[in-house]
A and B are shown apart, each in its own frame.
Chain A
Amino acid sequence: MSEKIRLILADDHALVLQGLTTLLEQIPDMEVVATAHNGDELLNLLEHHQVDVVVMDLQMPYHGLTALTEIRRRGMAVHVLVLTAFGDGDSIRSALELEAEGFALKTESPTQTIEAIRQVAQGRLVFPRAAQRWLAVQQKPQIQAAILLSPRELDVLKQVARGLTNPEIAGQLNVSENTVRFHLKNIFEKLGVTNRTEAAAWYFQQGGSAEL
């Protein structure tokens, strides 16, 4: 990546902010633009800084949860990664419902947080595998599909749903069979499915057809 990922970190635990900032400052493709200790501060900072990703704890005073709601309500163009000590279903669900794009844990190595930042910055959704079914039902189909899959992957999925084989899809899209296999592997991973039948089922479940 030629340009750095610009970040704001928000956490009410000063030591976490300090530790993470110290670590990220040395990562070549990242830049910590500012840090906030609560939700209100975060919103203020976002008014004045253009950043790519916000890394935030949801359990913050002065409105961690509300801050995320506000970010979405105001339509701020920023990706949000939730970084929390709690990896239970309820926390992940809150993050999903508030339209965060990623979820990283403080009980895992910080290198995983760094990787999650990169993924989220590229517009990918980063959630634990077991959350996939909530992902599928909770977000609007078109938004969901668009966030999850690249346009090319959507093309491939559409052909899979039509019942086409890999060689047929390759012919249809003017690409090699290898490329089709590559896209399929990514599609399965992103949707949390293991075969093309499940992928097709997912597609139809989303009400998918023309607009996808």
Chain B
Amino acid sequence: MPPKNELASRRILSVTEEELSRIVLDIHDGPVQNLFAALSLLTRLQNGISHLSFEQLQSAGVGELIPIVGQVEKLIESSLHEIKFFLGTFRPPEFHRRSLASIVEGLVFQHEEWTGSTVELNISTLPDNIALPIKIALYRILQEALSNGFRHAEVDRQWVKLWGEDEMICLEVVDQGKGFEPPPLEGPAATELEAHIGLRGMRDRVALLDGEFQLASSPGKGTRILVKMPAYV
């Protein structure tokens, strides 16, 4: 039985994900719909005035207003793009309802779609009814690993393998990119550098759930992350 504070941390993790899901859904159901409607109307307006000549616009006294319509259109478009990218997920993964395989597949899809890179995904048989905190942790770890590979390793191809071993779930993320000297992630010498926060976050998530985290990398030799977690907590 894990200590009380660990149980509390796990519970907080799930609650935070739920709150995040609700916020994301609300934003998509409210502001996104309104912004899209507003943009449709503005496009209509733009198309309408594009038929008019400069003289016609001037004589109507609205010549100087035209560029403003374009500006507003651009502002709304960029707001929609920001919502799309900054929310991290277009739609919360609905961890409760969906299988780990489907969640991982969705995440890989999203990564490919955003970055234009390729992820070779291989999922073997997994245990049933994987615990919610495990699904959340693996999702966030994979998200971080994929984005690290794209941002830092400078590769456009990664390999992701997800499989079950007895009652353990194993996740491996590999790239053949730039690689780096792995910093110490544990103990008194553990890195505090901002650039390493993501790595520490992955390691902490795994530790909290009694899992195992391995990071192998060296300059010029690519990176391999291996995570093993119990399927049930």
Contact = CB atoms under 8 A, between A and B. Distances in A.
A109 B84 CA distance: 12
A109 B89 CA distance: 19
Contacts of B32: 85, 106-107
Contact of A85 (B33, B93, B106): B33
B113 A87 contact: yes
Contacts, number: 96
Contacts of A173: none
A101 B46 CA distance: 29
Interface string B86-129: 00011101100010001001111110110010000000000000
Contacts of B34: 15
A88 B114 CA distance: 11
Interface string B61-97: 0000000000000000100110110000111011000
B44 A108 contact: no
B48 interface: yes
A111 B110 CA distance: 23
A90 B102 contact: yes
A146 to B, nearest CB: 25
Contacts of A13: 33, 37
B54 interface: no
A88 to B, nearest CB: 4
A87 B84 contact: yes
Centre residue among B40, B91, B109 by max chain A CB count within 10 A: B40
Contacts of A93: 106
Contact of B80 (A23, A91, A108): A108
Centre residue among B91, B93, B116 by max chain A CB count within 10 A: B91
Contact of B47 (A19, A26, A86, A90): A26
B56 interface: no
A23 B44 contact: yes
B76 to A, nearest CB: 9
A149 B152 CA distance: 39
A87 B88 CA distance: 12
Nearest to B112: A130
A29 to B, nearest CB: 13
A100 B142 CA distance: 30
A23 B43 contact: yes
Given A85-B32, A88-B110, A91-B90, A26 B83 contact: no
Contact of A86 (B28, B40, B41, B81): B28
B33 A16 contact: yes
A131 interface: yes
B98 A90 contact: yes
Contacts of A26: 44, 47-48
Nearest to B41: A19
Interface string A121-136: 0000000111100000
Interface of B: 28-29, 32-34, 36-41, 43-44, 47-48, 77, 80-81, 83-84, 89-91, 93-94, 98, 102, 105-110, 112-113, 116
Given A19-B37, A85-B29, A90-B93, 10 more contacts: A16-B36, A19-B38, A85-B36, A86-B90, A87-B113, A89-B105, A89-B108, A90-B91, A93-B106, A106-B33
27 contacts: A15-B37, A16-B37, A18-B37, A19-B37, A19-B38, A19-B39, A19-B44, A20-B37, A22-B40, A22-B44, A85-B29, A85-B90, A86-B28, A87-B90, A88-B106, A89-B105, A89-B107, A90-B93, A105-B84, A106-B33, A106-B80, A107-B83, A109-B77, A111-B43, A129-B113, A130-B109, A131-B109
Interface of A: 13, 15-16, 18-20, 22-23, 26-27, 59, 85-93, 105-111, 128-131
